[in-house]
């Protein structure tokens, strides 16, 4: 697990966007695992700008979103399908037929989950998976006690997650208590995982994820076992780590090594 500490949220988004930009430039037909939320929103704005400048294209890419609320129609303003249309898909050259969001309003959600897993496999698996993290350590909607080998499935939301998301729903408006989410096992099969976190409210979850132990009580801690995970946090989110300066030192050394290798390749 690589931990990168940036000064602020803007730096977190830039670093993450660079990884997605590099992925698309290296492999234009990449399979992208996408997420929703305020930090991904900032990353998406940077990718939109890159696309509009002609630096990257999504024309051959395929996307799969992490999760979706149950029982919300796609056009509902709080659905994750709506979020993706509004904040990314409508502004880039991606083929709508190649974008996938779990069908939260499926008549048979169990079958829909199985179909989603098969679609990911048929696409060749996810090349780069974007994640956020909940205050309780959830990734996707894999709440604490989730099986660390789980697949795409229906998941009950914890009271904490429901309360955290209540601000997005109008007073008295029914709020979903169930979701469809990629499982932790599904996420772990992505070739590269990129997790973003900002703010002091995420500090405890970041500490539990990075420093362990690996436990179903902190689902994100399973990423310690992933061969290629990059955790990008701002200073506030890194605030509970035992030795954040060590991670800053590692990243500085990594960047120096990359600079030397790049210089040699141009010599």
Residue tagged active-site, from 68, 100, 127, 136: 136
Provide the token pair at 16.
Answer: 């993450």
Strands 67-69 and 178-181: antiparallel
Say if strands 99-100 and 192-197 run parallel, antiparallel, or are unpaired.
Answer: unpaired
State how far the Cα of 216 lies from the Cα of 260, in Å rounded to an integer: 40
Q: Which residues are CB-contacts of 14 (< 8 A; sequence separation ≥ 6)?
A: 6, 46
Give the pLDDT confidence score for residue 267 in this predicted structure. 75
E strand or H helix that includes residue 263: helix 244-265
138 is catalytic: yes
Q: Give me the CATH number covering residue 200.
A: 3.40.50.1360
List helix spans (H) across 127-201: 159-165, 184-188
101 is in which domain, residue-wise? 2-265
Q: Are the C-beta atoms of residues 56 and 24 closer than 8 Å to each other?
A: yes
How deeply is 90 buried, as exposed, middle or buried, from its count of CB atoms within 10 A (0-12, 13-18, 19+)?
A: exposed
- Give the active site residue among 51, 100, 138, 234: 138
Q: Report how many domains make up the chain.
A: 1
What string of pLDDT tens digits covers the 267 residues of the chain? 999 999 999 999 999 999 999 999 999 999 999 999 888 999 999 999 999 999 999 999 999 999 999 988 898 889 999 999 999 999 999 999 999 999 999 999 999 999 999 999 999 999 999 999 999 999 999 999 999 999 999 999 988 888 888 888 888 788 888 999 999 999 999 999 999 999 999 999 999 999 999 999 999 999 999 999 999 999 999 999 999 999 999 999 999 999 999 899 887
Whole-prediction pTM value? Answer: 0.94
**β 128-131/62-65 pair status:** unpaired
Buried residues in 165-203 as b, exposed as e (16+ CB within 10 A)? eeeeeeeeeebbeebbbbbbbbbbbbbbbbbbbbeeebb
- Tokens found for residue 31: 């399979």
User: Distance between CA 211 and CA 206 in Å, rounded?
Assistant: 8
Q: Residue 92 gets which letter from DSSP?
A: S
Other C-beta atoms closer than 10 Å to the C-beta of 46 total 17
Confidence (pLDDT) at 265 = 84
Quote the pLDDT of residue 237.
Answer: 98
> Pick the catalytic residue: 51, 67, 100, 127?
67
Query: What is the distance in angstroms between the CA of the first residue and the CA of the last residue of the chain?
Result: 31
Counted residue by residue, the chain has a size of 267
Question: Is 143 one of the annotated active-site residues of the chain?
Answer: yes
Q: Pairing relation of β-strands 128-131 and 192-197?
A: parallel
Cβ 36 vs Cβ 264: under 8 Å: no
Which of 79, 80, 99 lies closest to 89, judged by CA? 99
Catalytic one among 68, 127, 143, 234?
A: 143
């Amino acid at each position: 697990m690589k931990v990168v500490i940036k000064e602020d949220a803007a730096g977190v988004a830039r670093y993450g966007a660079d990884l997605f930009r590099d992925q698309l430039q290296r492999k234009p037909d990449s399979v992208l695992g996408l997420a929703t939320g305020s930090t991904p929103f900032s990353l998406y704005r940077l990718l939109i700008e890159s696309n509009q400048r002609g630096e990257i294209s999504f024309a051959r890419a395929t996307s799969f979103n992490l999760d979706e609320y149950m029982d919300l129609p796609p056009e509902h303003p709080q659905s994750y399908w709506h979020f993706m249309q509004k904040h990314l898909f409508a502004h880039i050259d991606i083929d709508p037929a190649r974008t996938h969001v779990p069908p939260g309003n499926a008549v048979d959600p169990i079958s829909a989950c199985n179909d989603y897993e098969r679609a990911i496999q048929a696409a060749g698996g996810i090349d780069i998976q974007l994640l956020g993290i909940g205050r309780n350590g959830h990734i996707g909607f894999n709440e604490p006690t989730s099986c660390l080998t789980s697949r795409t499935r229906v998941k009950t939301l914890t009271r904490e997650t429901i309360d955290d998301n209540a601000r997005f729903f109008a007073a008295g408006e029914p709020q979903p208590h169930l979701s469809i989410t990629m499982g932790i096992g599904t996420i772990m099969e992505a070739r590269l995982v990129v997790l973003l976190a900002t703010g002091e409210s995420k500090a405890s979850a970041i500490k539990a994820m990075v420093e362990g132990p690996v436990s179903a009580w902190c689902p994100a801690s399973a990423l310690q076992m992933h061969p290629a995970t990059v955790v990008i946090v701002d200073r506030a989110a890194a605030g509970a780590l035992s030795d954040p300066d060590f991670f800053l030192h590692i990243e500085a050394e990594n960047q120096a090594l990359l600079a030397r290798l790049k210089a040699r390749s141009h010599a």
